[in-house]
Structure 1
Amino acid sequence: MQRKGFIYAELVVTDPEDFYNEYMTRVGPVLEKWGATFAIAGGEPQVLEGDRNVERVVLVEFDSPEKARDFYHSQDYQDVIGYRTRSAKSHLYLLEGTAQ
């Protein structure tokens, strides 16, 4: 069975106006084009262990790990990634789901 792919992001938004008005309005249509869906998109995660201070987490689901990787490297996403990198500090991870 095909495993799902995910991109997980931990974000600290440094310029909310630019992040929400520029990046988010542009990335939504790109994600839709690639068939991706938000599994999680929110702030204030509760850290249960460790000393990390994460303000916002996002988990985006794709049909496969390969599709998630292709999305990230696609021209579609590369055209909008600069809006995120200038308005937020982030860590992104490519994850492979478990077999269904």
Structure 2
Amino acid sequence: MPAYIVFDIDIHDPHAYEEYRRLGAPTLASYGGRFLVRGGAAQTLEGDWSPKRVVVLEFDSTEQAQAWYQSTEYQTAKAFRDRSAHSIGIMVEGL
């Protein structure tokens, strides 16, 4: 069953965030992950959510998604994201 990780990222240090992107993006492939959404315009249809930068990742399973998120290589990249942005993230199973 596929799994999706969805982030809403509010970047406050674009320079440091670029380092996160440089280090983080290549870590996906070895865990079977792929980008479905990587920024772009977002429009709120219901509620009061005002996302800044939406990123949606797809994995073949929740196990792969969790392995990627907890991996040493991603955690190294994530340290740059934590310093450069405020993020909200969820993981959800798909169909």
Q: TM > 0.5 between the two?
A: yes
Moved over 4 A (4+): none
Q: Percent same amino acid among aligned pairs?
A: 38
Of the candidates 71, 74, 77, which is equivalent to residue 74 of structure 1? 71
Match of 1:46, SS state, is: coil
Of the candidates 38, 48, 51, which is equivalent to residue 51 of structure 1? 48
Q: What's the TM-score, normalizing by structure 1? A: 0.88
2:65 maps to 1:65: no
Tell me what 2:21 maps to.
24
Alpha-carbon shift at residue 44 of structure 1 (Å): 3.0
* Cα distance in 2 between the residues matched to 1:96 and 1:14: 30
Q: Given the superposition, is the C-alpha separation of residues 38 and 8 from structure 1 closer, same or farther in structure 2, using an over 3 Å criterion?
A: same
What residue ranges of structure 2 are gaps of 5+ in the alignment?
none
Tell me what 2:10 maps to.
12
Q: Aligned residue pairs: how many?
A: 95
* Cα distance in 1 between the residues matched to 2:85 and 2:41: 15
* Cα distance in 1 between the residues matched to 2:29 and 2:81: 17
Q: Deviations over 1:23-58 (max 9, x none)?
A: 000011111222211011113310011112211100
* Cα distance in 1 between the residues matched to 2:3 and 2:42: 22
